[in-house]
Amino acid sequence: MTGNYPTQAELTEFQADLKTREAIPQRTMDLIKSMPKETHPMTMLSMGLMSLQSDSLFAQAYKDGVHKSKYWEVMFEDSLNLLAKLPLLAAHIYRHCYRGSDFLQSNQDLDWAGNYCHMMGYSEHDM
């Protein structure tokens, strides 16, 4: 949007930051597992995202009375947290709906897209 692109070092740092934020609370995983496999995946995604609200930094800051001029800081952190969690949540929903199997753990050695494919149950040999 600004016409500026990150350096390789900045991209690597950003990807590492996302990996530290990707953990999904057990309550969210239990919620997904409790839904019938016939539930539409978008319904599961919506419910999974809503279950993450209790961890919202913005919600806590708002509750604590943080000044409006600081909202952007906690919203930015919430956005990064959500961005990091979405691939795991989507992959877990996919495995629940279409593979009928347990969730796969994140592989920290893979890049973002490779890790997403891994968690869905695919490898480069399947492509």
Q: Which residue has the higher pLDDT, 88 or 113?
A: 88
Q: Which domains does the chain have, with CATH numbers?
A: 8-126 (1.10.580.10)
User: What pTM was estimated for this model as a whole?
Assistant: 0.84
d(CA 105, CA 26): 13
On average, the pLDDT of the chain sits at: 91
**Do residues 91 and 31 make contact, with C-beta atoms less than 8 angstroms apart?**
no
Q: Which two tokens stand for residue 77?
A: 């952190």
The pLDDT value recorded for residue 127 is 56
